Amino acid sequence: MKPPPEPAPLESGGPGPSDSRILHVDMDAFYASVAVRDAPELRGRPVIVGGGNRGVVLSATYEARAFGVRSAMPMARARGLCPTAVVVPADHGRYREVSRAIMDVFRDVTPLVAPISLDEAFLDVGGGRRLFGTPVDIARAIRGRIATEQGLTCSVGVAPSMFVAKIASARCKPDGLLVVPPDEVLAFLHPLPTAALWGVGPRTEQALTRLGIRTIGDIARTPADTLRRALGAGAGGHLHALAHGRDGRRVEPDGVDVSVGAEETFSADLADPERLARELLRLSGRVAARLRARGQAARKISIKVRHADFSTVTRARTLAEPTDVTWVIYRTAGELFDELRATSRPLVRLLGVRAARLSAAGRTSHQLAFDERPSGWAEVDRATDGARRRFGEESVRPASLLPDRPRRPAPPREWGPGRV
């Protein structure tokens, strides 16, 4: 069965008023598009980026999506839906390289760039009118440069606020440009399903449906107190404001996280706490090394746990100060994992560690504890980084990660007794 052709590029709306100054730029099927660009013989074929039957789809071309393949879908199901797809492994180093070049295009236009992942970012282009023209002119120029310099397509939403711009970019995929002027925001939003709003996941959508609320317009017409009683004060008030087009956030380069993470899908589901602790240490080390390589430190550490039934749980904690130290990240991840496992112990299919709220390393001072050494584990990390640069990535590892070492990694002595 041959999939239908890709949708034609869409460009909607004319040059809007100057208040539509926010752009949301979202690369189209980024990982898969980079893979096809680098291997032109794949062009026009269904391509899936992922690996192994136990993994998940990271990205898929629109030819594969026509068969029902979607990101985060189990690879076994994706192969069943599209058995003719070409499966290519992820190349995260390559994606980061291309992402840096794309972000440089954005920063040539405005310093107000807030990336939210490797393949999407918000831009405030209000200050670029004199040099670059209207926000719509700027959006067109960005799309042209990315196509010319990178051989990739992107979709751009132009709107007065961040959340409307993001919805607009999603509504014009792939390879589209959609402009929402200020006086058309409500007409644009209100026919859309509630799930289009930030903060409406499956559970919230179900709660709204029980109230007979199915569109954003329905939310806007529902009294705020009713929403607060049904969803909670914070969520109810937030959704009511968005449904009326109110979003006071600004594009702040330091205000939207770019995160650094590592995760592993296991060849067999795991339950052994010692093995899981070693995997947490391995992933924490990878995250810390990437932070140090980028000259960054993180103040928020999170874990992701996917169980054998594909249910996924995340937990996060904000630190007192930013860190790029392996043992601090591991200690925090371990505490989060122990709290999660205290309530249930299902088999673990995937484990991930992520660092967010990034800042330049060394930006903050550190108040030493009474018995803390001035360098300690940070010094160990620096020595380890040097050895790995000289002798290879596998030349230095914690003893607990060596083969046939079943013991759980122990916390540093200055943390005191107790489990990590």
Rounded to the nearest integer, the mean pLDDT of the chain is 82
167 in the same domain as 18: yes
Task: Give the per-residue pLDDT at 383.
Answer: 62
DSSP per-residue letters across 218-266: HHHHS-HHHHHHHH-HHHHHHHHHHHTT-------TTTS---EEEEEEE
What is the tens place of the pLDDT at every residue in 317-373? Answer: 999 889 999 999 999 999 999 988 887 778 998 899 999 888 777 544 344 343 444
Which pLDDT belongs to residue 346?
Answer: 84
- Domain end, chosen from 72, 92, 112, is at 92
CA distances, 258 to each of 113, 114, 171, 271, 333 (Å): 12, 9, 24, 31, 19
Task: Give the CA radius of gyration of the chain.
Answer: 23
Q: Would 246 be classed as within a structural domain?
A: no
Identify the domain containing residue 202 by its residue range: 194-237
Please name which of 6, 250, 13, 8 lies closest in space to residue 139, comparing C-alpha atoms: 13
Residues in the chain, pLDDT under 50: 1-18, 255-257, 363-375, 391, 393, 395-396, 406, 412-420
Residue 247 resides in a domain: no
Q: Answer whether residue 6 is part of any domain.
A: no
pLDDT value, residue 248: 80
- Give the residue numbers of the binding site for Mg(2+): 26, 119
Known binding residues: 26, 119
In 3D, which of 176, 173, 177, 170 has the Cα closest to residue 193? Answer: 170
Tell whether 5 is covered by a domain: no
pLDDT, tens digit, 9 for 90 and up, residues 187-217: 999 999 999 987 788 888 989 999 999 999 9
Q: Judge if 222 and 278 occupy the same domain.
A: no
The single residue of 11, 63, 97, 120 carrying the catalytic annotation is: 120
Instruction: Identify the H or E element spanning 152.
Output: none
Could you please report the per-residue DSSP string of 39-96? Answer: SGGGTTS-EEE--STTSB--EE-HHHHTTT--TT-BHHHHHHH-TTPEEE---HHHHH
**Does one domain contain both 268 and 316?**
yes
Residue 202 has a pLDDT of 83
354 within domain boundaries? yes
Backbone torsion region of residue 392, taken as left when φ is above 0, otherwise alpha when ψ lies between -120 and 50, otherwise beta: left
Domain match, 20 and 48 both:
no
pLDDT value at residue 359: 79
Residue 130, domain CATH: 3.30.70.270
Active-site annotation holds for 120: yes
Same domain, 21 and 44: no
Whole-number pLDDT of residue 307: 87
